[in-house]
Amino acid sequence: MIVLVHGVPETGALWDGVRARLDEDAVALWLPGFGCPRPDGFGATMDEYAAWLAGELSGFDEPIDLVGHDWGALLTYRMATAHGRLLRSWVADVAGGIHPDYVWHDVARVWQTPGDGEALIAQMVEGAEGTAAPIYEGYGVPAEDARRLASWMDQTMGSCILDLYRSAVPNPAVHWMDVWGPTTAPGLVLSPTEEPFASGKTDAQVAELLGAKHQVLEGVGHWWPLQAPDMAADVLAKFHASVR
């Protein structure tokens, strides 16, 4: 079973195009508060999302091939290192984001700043498609997908984003490197050549540390599942075939 996990500011619908092109069963999980309700009492911290994901994965009764993008990728690295028994294999991008030297990008630092973060979220919610969609197009997202991506933002998602990013200071590695090392399940780190939020060099270092394969995705950026779903499905199919 392929299990796909999205990132920020996204929903499980990020994977629709990829899932349609896969020849086997695949389920896309929706992070709590992202296009779905935020449970009462859920603090939306990185550790709470990790615990939630481990619980979701424990509910499957067949081997899991986990695939994560953006924050879904950071959670995938946590599953692979701290909960490897749950996985048959894993694939993730933005490995630079879990590197101990990682410095959060500009937007993340605004979200992490009280007051400024709330103001930016309000702007994103109010502007939605009108202002955000052109920004996503500038990152190479096709126009229709850019509008969909922008439309997913709401106040619930925004509140979760603020809590999530504020729990990850100064970076995720500070919190999660306690269990780092080669993973028991085989893994693959993906590095889009046009990725603006991480470095291919640190991606390769993290892949080596985790004992994973490293593959460069030519000509695509951060939102490669939307930009190139055919490529994405092909990469996943070939990797999964190689580890089964």
β-pair partners for 18: none
User: How sure is the predictor about 164, in pLDDT bands with cuts at 50, 70 and 90?
Assistant: very high
Checking if the pLDDT of 202 tops 70, the result is: yes
Helical packing angle, 200-210 and 71-82, nearest 10°? 20
- Please report which confidence band the pLDDT of residue 198 belongs to, taking 50, 70 and 90 as the band edges: confident
> What is the per-residue pLDDT for 201?
81
The pLDDT tens digits of the residues spanning 121-161 come to 998 898 766 678 888 999 999 999 999 999 999 999 999 99
Q: Per-residue confidence at 90, pLDDT binned at 50, 70, 90?
A: very high
Question: pTM for the complete prediction?
Answer: 0.96
Instruction: Say if CB 205 and CB 214 are below 8 A apart.
Output: no
Give the tens place of pLDDT for each residue, 18-32: 999 999 999 999 999
Residue 196 is predicted with a pLDDT of 87
Our CA angle for 98, 172, 95, nearest 5°, is 15
pLDDT beyond 80 at 76 = yes
Q: Cβ–Cβ contacts within 10 Å for residue 112, how many? A: 18
Please state which CATH number belongs to domain 2-103+171-243.
3.40.50.1820
Say what the pLDDT of residue 174 is: 94
User: Could you report the per-residue pLDDT of 168-192, keeping only the tens digit for each?
Assistant: 999 999 999 999 899 999 999 999 9
| Per-residue pLDDT, 92 | 98
